[in-house]
């Protein structure tokens, strides 16, 4: 596979992105995923190998990694499952959390983004912009029409924060009816909460989704294994193109 490389400054550090299926690099991504998700969601993730977050989908995904070239450390990752590669796993990961029947009617090609995480020391605009720039390159180069993905919100407080964020996103960024999905496992309704007057602290990765034009496809799903709430988000890639040019390349639409 041809690797993509993009470089950007983060203080004195130099970062690069690469699309890979190299087993050694994928394992490094799985270790970062475990570290981030276990610390933030308070779950052991059902790991079969200590310290590694892995599942059957990893083998059929393209893995995007961001590396600090000075230290060699992998500092951010996400994986992309192209519709053409879903056969061995029977479909998209999100089909285990949501009824995707409406999305299956869409014309064109779908790809799924998943397991996105950034090392805590690198959570800044530069790293996240670099990550999404590489994702955008992939979507355009692979002629993908729609990107879907599960955006996760931790539930360490029992779900109050998750409901407030989900309610805010549904009010501000709800997708059209033809993109709606329903959760297979609803969040416990005892945790429902109104937004109220307080500001809603949307996680940076989800904010980045919304800035690129993604929309929330409906109610959140409860993921007890990861101890989080998941929202399915969808991005129409033809609408990304203009935003991509402005946001990443500084060009007029």
Whether the per-residue pLDDT at 188 is higher than 80: the answer is: no
> With 80 as the cut, is the pLDDT of residue 218 above it?
yes
Q: Which band of pLDDT confidence, cut at 50, 70 and 90, is reported for residue 173?
A: very high
* Beta-strand pair 228-236/221-223: antiparallel
More confident call, 200 vs 170: 170
**Which residue has 């929330």 as its token pair?**
216
Non-local (6+) Cβ contacts of 94 within 8 A are 100, 112, 114, 148, 149, 150, 230, 232
Confidence of residue 251 (pLDDT cuts 50, 70, 90): very low
Partner residues linked to 231 by β-bridges: 151
Question: Residue 65 above 90 pLDDT?
Answer: yes
CA–CA dist 235, 107 (Å, integer): 14
Per-residue pLDDT, 92: 98
Which of 34, 38, 51 is closest to 154 using CA atoms?
Answer: 38
What pLDDT, in 10s, does the model give residues 129-142?
Answer: 899 889 999 998 99
- What average pLDDT does the segment 136-156 reach? 92
Q: Is the torsion defined by CA of 43, 45, 49, 51 positive or negative?
A: negative
Please give the pLDDT value at position 159: 80
> What does residue 39 show for φ and ψ, rounded to 5 degrees?
-70, -40
Q: How many helices (H) and strands (E) does the chain have?
A: 5, 11
pLDDT at 22: 97
Take residue 240 and report the two structure tokens written for it.
Answer: 């990304």
Per-residue pLDDT tens over the stretch 3-41? 444 444 444 469 999 999 999 999 999 999 999 988 887
Average pLDDT over residues 176-198: 77
Nearest to 61 by CA among 111, 16, 24: 111
In this structure, are strands 13-20 and 215-216 parallel, antiparallel, or unpaired? unpaired
Q: In the prediction, which pLDDT does 8 show?
A: 42
Q: What is the value of pTM for the model shown? A: 0.87
The arithmetic mean of pLDDT across residues 189-209, rounded, is: 71
* pLDDT at position 10: 42
Nearest-5° angle of CA 114, CA 34, CA 232?
A: 25
Q: Is 168 helix (H, G, I), strand (E, B) or coil?
A: helix
pLDDT score, position 129: 86
Could you give the domains of the chain? 7-249 (3.40.630.30)
Torsion, Cα 16 78 92 2, to 10 degrees, reads 10
Q: Is the pLDDT of residue 191 over 60?
A: no
Pull the structure tokens for residue 189: 């309704």
- Rounded to whole angstroms, what are the CA distances from 93 to 16, 29, 33, 115, 167? 27, 18, 16, 10, 24
Predicted local confidence at residue 208, as pLDDT: 85
Q: What whole-number distance in Å separates Cα of residue 109 and Cα of residue 142?
A: 9
């Amino acid at each position: 596979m041809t690797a993509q490389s993009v470089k950007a400054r983060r203080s004195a550090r130099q970062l690069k992105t690469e699309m890979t299926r190299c087993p050694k690099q994928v394992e490094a991504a799985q270790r970062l995923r475990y570290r981030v998700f276990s610390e933030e969601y308070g779950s052991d993730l059902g790991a079969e190998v200590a310290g590694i977050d892995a599942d059957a989908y990893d083998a059929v995904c393209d893995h995007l990694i961001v590396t600090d070239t000075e230290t060699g450390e992998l500092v951010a990752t996400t994986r992309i499952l192209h519709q053409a590669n879903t056969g061995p796993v029977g479909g998209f990961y999100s089909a285990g959390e949501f009824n995707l029947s409406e999305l299956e009617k869409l014309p064109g090609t779908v790809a799924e983004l998943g397991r996105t995480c950034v090392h805590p020391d690198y959570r800044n605009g530069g790293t996240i912009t670099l990550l999404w720039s590489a994702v955008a390159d992939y979507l355009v180069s692979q002629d993908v029409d729609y990107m879907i993905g599960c955006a996760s919100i931790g539930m360490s407080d029992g779900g109050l924060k998750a409901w407030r964020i989900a309610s805010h996103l549904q009010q501000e960024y709800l997708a059209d009816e033809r993109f709606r999905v329903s959760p297979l496992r609803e969040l416990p309704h005892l945790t429902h909460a109104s937004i109220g007057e307080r500001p809603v602290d949307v996680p940076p990765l989800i904010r980045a989704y919304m800035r690129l034009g993604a929309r929330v496809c409906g109610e959140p799903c409860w993921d007890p294994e990861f101890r989080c709430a998941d929202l399915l988000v969808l991005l129409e890639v033809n609408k990304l193109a203009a935003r991509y040019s402005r946001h990443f390349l500084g060009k007029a639409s």
